[in-house]
Amino acid sequence: TQTLFEVVDTWFVTQLGPDHITGVGLIGPIMFTAFAVSQTVNVGVAAMLSRRLGQKRPELARDVLNHGLLLATVIGLGLSIFLILCRGLVLDWLGASGEIRTYANQYASIIFCAVALMHIGAASDAALRAQGNTVTTMKVGVTANIANILLDRVLIFDLGMGVAGAAWATLI
């Protein structure tokens, strides 16, 4: 799901121009790294929760879920805050300059807020899958991606928000 968000944003932003897509593209590796971090919690929550459910120990399963969601929230918020506060340093490290830096900054200032939500969503997804409920996660993913496609179109072009519109579409 997360990869498709990035691909859709990229496709729409390519229509704005090369500096726009380069700016958004610079942020991609940071977001993929943040996604990888969220997956470590996701896998851990799914494995431990599945084990507790299989042992018929719902009280321990509930504890795993609560701690997993708390851990995902703390890590996600911490990473979001770090990225937002250090955005300038991140852009320097990535070598962003000129117009490309402007577009990268516009995108990053919004999309870095999504990191916290991405972590919470990944842990929630793991909890559902651990219970054998893969249909709900699929429906949520499909719905979110359709909404992202529609919002990208409206926010980027119809409302003229450009690169910031792509980030808002993903965040929403």
Q: What is the DSSP string of 88-139?
A: HHHHHHTT--HHHHHHHHHHHHHHTTHHHHHHHHHHHHHHHHHTT-HHHHHH
- pLDDT at res. 3: 79
DSSP code of 161? -
- Closest to 23 measured CA to CA, from 117, 81, 95, 83: 95
The tens place of each residue's pLDDT in the chain, 172 residues long, gives 677 888 899 999 999 999 999 999 999 999 999 989 988 888 988 999 999 999 999 999 999 999 999 999 999 999 999 999 999 999 999 999 999 999 999 999 999 999 999 999 888 888 898 888 999 989 998 999 999 999 999 999 999 999 999 999 999 9
The gap between the terminal CA atoms of the chain, to the nearest Å, is 14
The answer to whether 42 and 128 have CB atoms below 8 angstroms apart is no
The answer to whether 98 and 18 have CB atoms below 8 angstroms apart is no
- pLDDT at res. 51: 94
The pTM score is 0.89
Report the half-sphere exposure of 102 (CA within 13 A, side-chain side).
6
- Closest to 127 measured CA to CA, from 65, 58, 54: 65
- pLDDT at res. 117: 92
Q: What proportion of the chain, given as a percentage, has pLDDT over 70?
A: 99
- Closest to 129 measured CA to CA, from 119, 138, 120: 138
The answer to whether 106 and 19 have CB atoms below 8 angstroms apart is no
